[in-house]
Structure 1
Amino acid sequence: MPEPGKSIGIIGLGIMGGAIARNLIAAGFRVGGFDIDKGRAVAAATSGVALRGSAAEAADGADLVLTSLPSVAALDQTAETLAAKQRPGLIVAEISTFPIEAKERARDRLAAAGIVLLDCPLSGTGAQAVTRDLALYGSGDEAAYARCRDVFAGFARVSHYLGAFGNGSRMKFVANLLVAVHNAAAAEAIVLGTKAGLDPERILEVISSGAGNSRIFELRGPMMAKGVYTPPTATMHVLQKDSAIIAEFARALGVETPMLDAAAPLYDEAEAQGYGDEDVGAVHAVLARRAGLPTRK
């Protein structure tokens, strides 16, 4: 159960941040939030989020701040803004996917101001965020993490403490490598079956009952079967960003990623065909077009 009156600040109210805010409100927390996108801010306000005028204001009076950000530049700027607040003892949980060195830089900047940053990326899609079906990979100060458990339980199905700062991101890279590969494999399989004359809906029904099933097949198979990739649960832009981070991380360790390397050009092609702002399930459209099946674009 949440502590009575516990207040959460959320910086970034997009697909993930907005869904998390709604679930925290439903769980009994007070939530204030900020997003530079006015449309996202207004949507969050209709769900009960108290809108703040800046990232700094989102941290005012908050017991915990969650940051769900689109870029390293946004993380750097947010860290500078929060550090200037001089809120010693404040805990910030960074739930985005960024290079570890970027999060370490933010951690060090905040630590100089007495603020604790946790590395807590999430595994799950925007649709899963809506239903609180997320996994949180936490790392950093263990005592600070323990103080956040009730908040994490308000928006995630499960949370794992993984030790030293950065281990959360390392685990997320492993998870997202599998997501990128499974997503392309699901699209390839559905295109193959459709081209062979099988009904796409029957493909979903039958494959989901057997050994070929996967969580990604269940989540994105329906939109692939329909050839409709909106609304997005994770955009092509985001997957490309994450895949590039994973590829660089693997190269630095001397680890080959042949499956990720094979999938990456498909996502680039999907963006080139105009699917950049649609769901990553749109990789299906690339393979469908190559196979001579009808597509929307």
Structure 2
Amino acid sequence: MRADVAGAPVSFGVFEMTPEGSATVEPDALLEVLVETGYSGVDLGPLGFLGEGAGLARRLSRFGLDLAGGWIQLPLTDDEAFESSLEELDEVLRTFAAATESGPARLPLPTLADLGSPARAASPGRGAEADPLPDDVAQRLYDNLARAAGIVRDVGFEPTFHHHAGTFVESPGEIDAFLEHTDVGLTLDTGHLAIAGGDPVEAVERWGSRINHLHLKDVDRPRLDEILAAGGGMTEVWSGGSFVPFGQGGIDLTRVMTLLDAAAYDGWVVVEQDVLNDPSVDLETFLSECRDAHRVNREALRAWA
């Protein structure tokens, strides 16, 4: 397997859902943990968190890290909203260009995703029941995704699409339909697939040739099932301790990675342990816990990357 391993701000409680005004880990402290524990890249996180333009490039260079990818969520089922979102897509792509001016050996993948709906976000894994997607609206999603992918390719990057719990592409069946109707590679997220009732091992067997990016999580299945059974949404999933260090959950990491190796996977492996912290979290203690978890996660991948 030719793969590089990256970390992600979301594992440090820094992402688009972080409450406004919450204390968060500083960018340099986050990157120091990744370097110390053996990672070679980092996901972008919220736009501007790691810096902008030349400032982002300098920060990555200072730590010897490459940009692995970055989250771009688009309202793919709403033509008017999608049109308005293209300015943000362009801004993110300018950030990618600035971060890669030095010509890294492996380029980052702009990670496109559907925005979903409030009903779907409140019912992760149950989206088809909570907010069914009519065929004509599904086609709109595929058409808008194709347009976004074209914009990404026109500036020199290859897009990837992230199936995501709480959106209109979350279940194995919805992923099947997406892959049938588009030419964009798939970001396999082992945690979000588990939320939607999928098996990551079966996913690699089924979609291996289309997987061009990997978000690797382990899942505390009993805890996740408890949250979902209580009617929890994605906020509760993120804040409830659903995602755990490798080996402490139910994902068969060895089988997933062995199958990807057999399929000659060549790309980024982004380690994610999504967490939405209580605003009162003690950052020093939390950062120490993050360091320990990142060391465990990185060592678990040594056999492959």
More strand by share: 2
Q: Which has the higher helix share?
A: 1
Larger radius of gyration: 1
When normalised by structure 2's length, the TM-score is 0.32
Which one scores higher on RCO, CA 8 angstroms, separation ≥ 6? 2
